[in-house]
Amino acid sequence: MEKQQQHLFIDFEFTMPERNTKYKGFQPEIIEVGIVAVVNDKIRETFSAYVAPNKFPILSERCKSFLHITQEQVDNGITFLGLLEKITEMGSGYSNIVVTWGNMDMKVLKNNCSMAGAAFPHFCSEVDLSMEYKRFFGDQNQTGLWKAVREYGSEGTGKHHRALDDALTTFDIFKFVEKDKRYLGNTETTTIGDLIDLSQFYNKFA
């Protein structure tokens, strides 16, 4: 039996070094996650959590100030392996397409998996919606997430740089783009499940 298609809108926030300071071997680590699971255009589940970093467990002042995240919040967060377990759990039983705004989320996830010696979660495909948005509207430059949603006359969901709010806002833009594609003369009924076939397109920009 063919698995039902599910879109996982994912956003991560990462650690960052102090400005103009070089941390030897520094690599960004996930410290907050927001996931929105969508099936048949409907939100099936959402998940939000802080994640405790491993290699550089002490947050920089710049990171805390920029993301409004405290040391205590990440200290009490789930482990990175716990994050992977949650992603696997939310995707279980479905054919999953991951949608992110920009390519950093998946790059950092893959790198963090490598650092932890853990397997990267299997997805049937990954979509960088910012590149799809750029291609669709012919913009020369990639547009920021919240600038894009404001161009649609919306204010987005919650606060920028809160992972779940950004994931929900990404879903909002995905729906706007779907509506525009219908308006521009797609004679077939488009669903969120078949909106974007980016296998070749994603490989080009991965």
Point out the residues that are catalytic.
13, 161
Residues 59/88, Cβ–Cβ less than 8 Å: no
Residues 128/97, Cβ–Cβ less than 8 Å: no
Closest CA to 204 of 103, 97, 113, 123: 103
**Facing residues of 14 across strands?**
30
Tell which phi-psi region holds residue 89, choosing left (phi > 0), alpha (psi between -120 and 50) or beta. alpha
Closest CA to 79 of 118, 25, 121: 118
Is 193 strand, coil or helix?
coil
Spatial CB neighbours of 191, under 8 Å, sequence gap ≥ 6: 40, 41
Closest CA to 21 of 49, 63, 51: 63
Q: How deeply is 21 buried, as exposed, middle or buried, from its count of CB atoms within 10 A (0-12, 13-18, 19+)?
A: exposed
